[in-house]
Amino acid sequence: MLANFLIGLREGLEASLVVSILIAYLVKTDRRQDIRYIWLGVGSALTVVVVAFTLITAAIGSLPFRTQELVGGTLSIFAAALVTWMLFWMRRTARHLKTELESEMAHALTLGAGAIAFVAFLTVGREGLETAAIMYGTVANAYTPRPFIGAALGIAVAIALGYLIYRGAVKVDLAKFFTVTGALLVVVAAGVLAYGIYDLQEAAFLPQLTLQVGGPGDLGNQVFDISGTIPPDSWYGTLLKGTINFQPDPSWLQAGGWLLYLAIVLPLYLRGSRAMFARIPHRSADEAPTSTV
pLDDT tens-digit series, residues 199-219: 898 888 888 766 555 544 445
In terms of Cα–Cα distance, which of 46, 227, 28 is closest to 125? 46
pLDDT at 173: 72
pLDDT at 288: 41
Q: pLDDT tens, 223-280?
A: 887 888 887 777 677 667 766 667 788 888 898 999 999 999 999 888 866 555 555 4
- Contacts of residue 44, defined as CB under 8 A and 6 or more positions apart, other chains included, come to 117, 121
Q: What is the DSSP string of 194-213?
A: HHHHHHHHHTTSS----B--
pLDDT at 222: 79
CA 228-193-201 angle, 5° bins: 70
The ranges assigned to domains in the chain are 2-277
pLDDT average per 10 residues of sequence, the chain (293 residues): 76 85 88 91 91 83 84 87 84 74 86 90 84 71 68 86 77 75 85 88 80 51 81 72 74 90 91 56 42 35
